[in-house]
Structure 1
Amino acid sequence: MTTEDALVRAILDSPEEDGPRLAYADYLDETPSPKRRARAEFIRLQVGFSKGAAFDRELLARESAALRKFGSAWLPRWGRREVGPAYTIGYMVFVTRVGGGEMNFSFKRGFVNSCTAQIGEGMGLVPEGVGEFVRDTLAAHPVEKFFIYWAGSMVLSVHVAHGPGGWTGETKRDRCRGLVGPVGTRREFVSALVEAATEAASAVRPPAGFAF
């Protein structure tokens, strides 16, 4: 495991703590890459805002500029493949899929905190791929919420939480709820959550009147 892998793992294992995120920012600052140094500043700015730092206009402008310039490169792998134009609104990055459709990723404290994707032809996601989408995103970001839409209607949501008792998750589809955990290790939890999300997505049906 590389130093960077270990630093990211520490963030994923303790998503509620700021220390691992700031340690990662220090590591990124040691590189000559403008993209990585911008990420370091972005993490520090968002951590500062989350702790009650004043929303200074200049700092907000720097946060927005970094996200606008590099945000699409900081997305999970799924959000970077087969993409067309990307744009930002506030702390969210919207990615347009080749062939149509859109995903959006919201950043909090320097990492993706929630994401929204659409099922459908040309949207880049099918029901059978929801589990992979969840796994891929959680591999690099401490995401708490996934929202899956189909023809404008939310058909599935996945929630993640970490506390003293371990990791817990929940899938919601119509009136059906699936609970995962508590699980002690994140790796085991992600596997269980992906299985639950895959099972829930397999039962998803398109909204009335929609042809897939």
Structure 2
Amino acid sequence: MTEQDSFVRAILDDPNENTHRVVYADWLEEQNTAASRARAEFIRLQVSSAAETLIDPPIGREESLLKKWGTRWLPKTARLDAGMLGSETSFNTVRFSYDSVHAVYEFGRGFIATVSLGNRDGFDGRMLGHLMRECLANNPVERFLFHRWEHRPLIAVEVAPAHGDWRVDMRLGQNAEELFSTLITGTRKQLLKGLPNWMSEEFERIDVEPDPAEIPF
């Protein structure tokens, strides 16, 4: 494990603690490259904004950093897609679209916090599980939202530490009000390993194909 990996691992293992994020930002700044300084500044800005320690948060600066560097902070698959297709930034999000797919990556406290994917052609649970694993490998993502299309939630998957374990809740419905399934693992490593199979099994139990009569185009 590299020194950088150890800092990121501390954040992943204890995502609610801001101190780990600030320490990582300090280390990044010490590396003294344009990319590392930008990431350090972005983390500090978002942590301070979330903690409400800034009277007038420089939202414009946050968005400017995300516009210049945001695609580089995405997981590999999303980074490649955004690079080929072009992306847009808005406040704390990076988004891109192609064919029937719409993707939004929302940052919180310096890291990806929410991933939202829309696909009017339906989903493959195992493929989504691999995507989730890739996102969670270096980001403390709290929530994944899967839509039939851009503005119609279908499934919400929430990830959080729980009493020494890791818990993943799958919720259904437009407001994600219905708890459908729960996965509990002892370690984050077990969580990442088990996600593709779990998502595949759970999606077999859900009718995830869109109703053509409901699609507004």
TM-score range, shorter chain: 0.7 to 0.9
3-state SS of the aligned residue for 1:206? coil
Shift of 1:55: 4.5
The answer for the alignment partner of 1:195 in structure 2 is 197
Residues 120, 126 of structure 1: 8 Å contact kept:
no
Residues 68, 88 of structure 1: 8 Å contact kept:
yes
Scaled by the length of structure 1, the TM-score of the pair is 0.86
Using the aligned pairs only, state the percent identity. Answer: 31
Q: After TM superposition, which residue ranges in structure 1, 4 or more long, deviate above 6 angstroms?
A: none
Residues 100, 119 of structure 2: 8 Å contact kept:
no
Q: Please say which of residues 61-70 and 147-156 is displaced more in the overlay.
A: 147-156
3-state SS of the aligned residue for 1:81? helix
CA distance in 1, matches of 2:55, 2:67: 18
Alpha-carbon distance change, 142 to 164 in structure 1, aligned in 2, over 3 angstroms: same
Per-residue deviation, residues 67-108 of structure 1 (Å, max 9, x unmatched): 1111111012221123311111111111234x5632101111
Alignment of 1:26-175 (within 5 A): 26-56=26-56, 59-83=58-82, 84-97=85-98, 99=99, 101-120=101-120, 126-152=124-150, 153-173=152-172
What 5-or-longer segments of structure 2 have no aligned partner? none
Residues 141, 159 of structure 2: 8 Å contact kept:
yes
What 5-or-longer segments of structure 1 have no aligned partner? none
Shift of 1:38: 0.5
CA distance in 1, matches of 2:179, 2:142: 19
CA distance in 1, matches of 2:157, 2:48: 28
AA at the equivalent of 2:137: A
CA distance in 1, matches of 2:106, 2:127: 21
CA distance in 2, matches of 1:140, 1:43: 14
The answer for the alignment partner of 2:24 in structure 1 is 24
The answer for the alignment partner of 1:208 in structure 2 is 211
3-state SS of the aligned residue for 1:82? helix
CA distance in 2, matches of 1:52, 1:162: 24
Scaled by the length of structure 2, the TM-score of the pair is 0.84
Residues 119, 126 of structure 1: 8 Å contact kept:
no
